[in-house]
Structure 1
């Protein structure tokens, strides 16, 4: 499996494309839909799903365009299904951007193993930055796509609607930090890191 990162939109949000021999997973279609779809088409793989780590506006800016183009289902934690169509909840109401309103998600993400097409991975719940935040764990490549929970030398903000600092720290310590030290972290913003590096040097945890 290969993973490709694209930094998209006004906030430089990371979108990820995970590809195996024949299929593609799209994680957090953040913005710049034409650029994102061009990158997808270059890979010449069949998209099978769009996964959302959470439903803040900067992670869903290209959602409807990408979903419509490829006809794939959208997976999102049930705590945030209302957020896609609500600019006050997804945060776009409070930023100098066009309000983001998307169609409903198609599937509910829950903690545990998940198989989509030929992809097998685990979902862990990492609330705090938002109530329905999740991370996707790909054991075969020792990688976690962590959304806006854990960054390189940082953590997600908790001052947006329903954010909670103590909950986020608990999610990091009890969920992400239980992964093996060698696991790579692919965050919602900024560069990659590892569990070991963050355990040793993250000043917020």
Structure 2
């Protein structure tokens, strides 16, 4: 399995293409849809789905063009089912950007094991930054796509609608830090890190 990172949009959000065999997952298509379409077509792999760690505007900006281009289902946690089409909830109303309005997700993410195409992974609920935040844990490969819960020496902000600092800290300590130290964390912003490094060096936790 290979994870390709693309820094996208006005907030420099990390979007990911995850590759395995001839299958491809799109995770958090944050913006710049033409760039992503060009890259997906260059890879000549079959997209299977769009997965969202959460529905803040800077993570969903390219959802509609990609969904239409490849006829893909979009997965999101049910706690944010209203956010896709609501700029006040997805946050785009409060930033100097065009308001982001998407169609609802096609399917809801549930905690636990999940399989799509060639991919087997676990969905972990990671509320705090937002109420429906999730992380995708690829146990066999020892990789985590963490969204905006845990960063390299940082944590997600909690001052947007329905964010909660205490919940986020609890999420990180009880859920993410329970994973093996060697697991590589691919966050929603900034560089990669590991669970072990964040246990030792993250000043917020």
The two structures share one fold, judged by TM-score above 0.5 = yes
Number of residue pairs the alignment of both structures matches: 205
Partner residue, 2:78: 78
Distance 1:98 1:41 in 2: 27
3-state DSSP of counterpart to 1:185: strand
TM-fit CA distance, 1:54: 0.0
| 1:117-136 per-position Cα deviation (integer Å, ceiling 9, x unaligned) | 12110000000000000000
Inter-partner Cα distance in structure 2 for 1:116 and 1:57 = 25
Output the TM-score relative to the length of structure 2. 0.99
Provide runs of 4+ in structure 1 moved above 4 Å. Answer: none
State the Cα distance separating 1:37 from its structure 2 match. 1.0
Can you give the 5+ residue segments of structure 1 that lack an aligned partner in the other structure? none
Spell out the pairing of 1:14-29 with structure 2 (5 A cutoff): 14-29=14-29
**1:98-177 correspondence runs (5 A):** 98-177=98-177
- Provide, for residues 6-63 of structure 1, a one-character-per-residue CA deviation record: whole Å limited to 9, x for no partner: 0000000000000111100000000011011111111110000000000000000000
Measured in 1, the distance between the counterparts of 2:117 and 2:143 equals 19
Gaps in structure 2 of 5+ consecutive residues: none
**Structure 1 residue 199 and structure 2 residue 199: aligned?**
yes
Q: Distance in 2 between matches of 1:38 and 1:194?
A: 30
CA distance in 2, matches of 1:121, 1:163: 26
Partners of 2:44 and 2:178 in 1: CA distance: 35
- Equivalent residue, structure 2, for 1:53: 53
Asked if the contact 2:73–2:105 (Cα under 8 Å) also holds between the matched residues in 1, the reply is yes
Q: Does 1:182 align with 2:182?
A: yes
